[in-house]
């Protein structure tokens, strides 16, 4: 029979407590988003290394409500700024990325897809590098639903089954 020391039992207790807290936080985040009529799915961000530490985040946002919604802003405690960006193709065939100053409108009962080569969140001035397998905390600010906090997994490529495997910019 294996005897566990008090220290080892305490470590197990702390690990279990943190696991339960993380699960409760995730459940609360999903509940808060669902209660507002806005749901966020398939979120992911690209890894970020080197000078300037910038990355992009992508996701699917569903407006399940009866009223139109607008994603007006986003922020992260891990970055100096987060901007809503739109990438478009100019007439001369050159891709152009611009800040979407009016936000991203989401009509009632529709879905908005943030994907490479289109609308996305541009995260700039990260406090540290983001490696594949890491996480990034974001707060999405909606005109009607208010702020929704999400945790975005960092991935080297789009999630499997996603149609977002295009180049970034």
Q: Which domains does the chain have, with CATH numbers?
A: 37-153 (2.60.40.1890)
- Which residue, chain included where needed, has tokens 């897809």? 113
**pLDDT tens, 117-154?**
999 999 999 998 899 999 999 999 999 999 999 999 99
**pLDDT tens, 68-107?**
999 999 999 999 999 999 988 888 888 888 899 899 999 9
Residue 1 is predicted with a pLDDT of: 55
Q: Which residues of 52-90 are buried (b: 16+ CB within 10 A; e: fewer)?
A: ebbbbbbbbbbbebeeebbbbbbbbebbeebbbbebeee
Percent of the chain topping pLDDT 90: 55
Mean pLDDT of 143-167: 79
Q: Judge whether residue 38 has pLDDT over 80.
A: yes
Q: Phi, psi at residue 54, to the nearest 5°? A: -120, 150
């Amino acid at each position: 029979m294996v005897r566990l020391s008090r220290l080892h039992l305490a470590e197990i207790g702390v690990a279990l407590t943190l696991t339960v807290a993380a699960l409760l936080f995730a459940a609360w985040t999903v509940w808060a988003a669902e209660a507002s009529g806005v749901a966020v799915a398939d979120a992911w961000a690209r890894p970020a290394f080197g000078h300037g530490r910038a990355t992009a985040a992508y996701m699917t946002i569903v407006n399940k409500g009866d009223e139109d919604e607008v994603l007006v802003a986003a922020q992260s405690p891990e970055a100096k700024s987060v901007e809503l960006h739109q990438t478009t193709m100019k007439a001369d065939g050159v891709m152009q990325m611009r800040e979407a100053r009016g936000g991203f409108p989401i009509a009632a009962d529709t879905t908005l897809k943030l994907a490479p080569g289109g609308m996305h969140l541009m995260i700039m001035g990260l406090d540290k590098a983001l490696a594949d397998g890491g996480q990034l905390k974001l707060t999405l600010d909606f005109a009607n639903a208010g702020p929704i906090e999400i945790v975005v997994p960092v991935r080297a490529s789009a999630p499997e089954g996603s149609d977002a495997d295009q180049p970034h910019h």
